[in-house]
Amino acid sequence: MENTLYIVVPCYNEEEALPLSAPVLLAKLEALEAAGLAGQESRILLVDDGSKDSTWDVIKSLHDHDKRFAALRLSRNRGHQNALLAGLEYAASHGDVSISIDADLQDDVNAMDEMLRRWAEGCDIVYGVRSARDTDTFAKRFTAEGYYKLIAALGGEVVFNHADYRLMSSRAVSALLEFPERSLFLRGMVPMIGYKTATVEYERGARNAGESKYTLKKMLTLAINGVTALSAKPIRMIAGLGALLFAAALAAIIIMLIDGASAAAVAAVSAWGAAGLVLLALGVVGEYVGHIYEEVKGRPRYFIMDKLE
Ligand code: UDP
Ligand code: MG
């Protein structure tokens, strides 16, 4: 079996992190080749997700110095998940196996050896799973772990504490590409593929340079996509809540009639509460309707503007 590896790295405004990350990735690639875990044609594929800083210039000079740096440049910022998928698609058509990793190298590159060994044993997907969240603030850890639990409770199949540090064989990527949805939540979609899978633990560090490119808005979008992409349970829960509320209101009215009391104040307050609930319910339903609209339009996920191969 050929074992051409593509390390896929989405990059958005990473002019600070890339110069630090690139040599580390290259050294890792060489070590993997020396250990016989990756073939000589292996590449580091940098995907510029429409950066507004000098990221593309950094990428070009990396490629000029070493042709093992390949690159794709998207026509505009399409977000991490789209950029990653663009890279995976290219990797699957040029190599045998890919490993995706963030440009800030928060994920330990040394977990790649174990991932590739698992692949050699016949696994098509190997999830990088962080063993500790020591480097996260309490708030981040609390919300992130709570979110994984929420998704699981809603019936979504996600690997606990796995983000997008993952090995995928080319046939697993091909399977992923058959999923037509536009709102991507890759870590929720990949487990639906099947095949033989494994997990590899590693410790996640801090970003090596620059600031997080995941704005609160981007993070919320991803989180909401995760729920709506994996489960229709929230809509059902809303229907349940509505039924419960209706029953409670009916009971209250009966009690008020029996008591003959003028509970005007109570009624006013509960009207506000009911209005809030209705709006919340509408919002959740609207979220799904919005997604249906997006999917029906079926717009292209990305356009590639430049390639360095
Ligand atoms: N990223 C991207 N497009 C975006 C935002 C982020 O390609 O619109 C990339 C970014 O360059 C990095 C990865 O996604 O390689 C994860 O981003 P970041 O490390 O900033 O997120 P965090 O670790 O803070 O959640
Ligand atoms: Mg990061």
Ligand nearest to the CA of 50: 1
Distance CA 48, CA 10 (A): 6
Ligand nearest to the CA of 184: 1
Beta strands in the chain (DSSP E): 5-11, 43-48, 69-74, 97-100, 125-130, 162-169, 197-202, 304-308
Query: Who's near 124: CB < 8 A, 6+ residues apart?
Result: 168, 169, 171, 172, 193, 195, 196, 197
Which of 44, 54, 59, 80 best tests ligand 1's pocket when mutated (most atoms within 8 Å of CB)?
Answer: 80
Token pair recorded at residue 44: 């580091």
Distance 76 CA to ligand 2 centre (A): 20
Please report, in tens digits, the pLDDT of each residue of the chain (309 residues total): 479 999 999 999 999 999 999 999 999 999 999 999 999 999 999 999 999 999 999 999 999 999 999 999 999 999 999 999 999 999 999 999 999 999 999 999 999 999 999 999 999 999 999 887 767 778 878 888 888 888 888 877 888 889 899 999 999 999 999 999 888 889 888 999 999 999 999 988 888 888 888 888 888 888 888 888 777 788 778 878 887 887 887 787 787 778 776 667 667 667 777 877 788 788 788 888 888 888 888 889 999 999 999
Q: Please give the single-letter amino acid code of residue 256.
A: M
Ligand nearest to the CA of 51: 1
Q: Strand, helix or coil at 128? A: strand
Q: Strand, helix or coil at 235? A: helix
Within 6 A (CB) of ligand 1 lie 10-12, 14, 49, 77, 79-80, 83, 102-104, 106, 207, 212-214
Nearest CA to ligand 1 atom 13: 102
Rounded to the nearest angstrom, the gap between the alpha carbon of residue 49 and the centroid of all alpha carbons in its chain is: 15
Distance 151 CA to ligand 2 centre (A): 22
Q: Cα–Cα distances in Å, from 301 out to 76, 166, 192? A: 11, 21, 20
Token pair recorded at residue 4: 């051409």
Distance 105 CA to ligand 1 centre (A): 11
Ligand nearest to the CA of 84: 1
Q: What is the pLDDT of residue 248?
A: 81
Phi, psi of 167 (to 5 degrees): -95, 140
By the 10 Å C-beta count (0-12 exposed, 13-18 middle, 19+ buried), 289 is classed as exposed
Which of 143, 213, 217, 225 best tests ligand 1's pocket when mutated (most atoms within 8 Å of CB)?
Answer: 213
Q: Quote the DSSP letter at residue 191.
A: G
Helices (H), 48-128: 55-65, 80-94, 111-120
Distance 38 CA to ligand 2 centre (A): 25
Phi, psi of 126 (to 5 degrees): -130, 120
Distance CA 205, CA 215 (A): 19
Nearest atom within ligand 1 for CA of residue 83: 7
Categorise residue 36: left if φ over 0, alpha if ψ from -120 to 50, beta otherwise: left
Distance 239 CA to ligand 2 centre (A): 38
For the chain, report the end-to-end CA distance as a whole number of angstroms.
23
Phi, psi of 7 (to 5 degrees): -90, 115
Q: What is the pLDDT of residue 230?
A: 76
Quote the pTM value: 0.81
Q: What is the pLDDT of residue 1?
A: 47
Residue whose pair of structure tokens reads 């609160």 in the numeric block: 216
Distance 110 CA to ligand 2 centre (A): 17
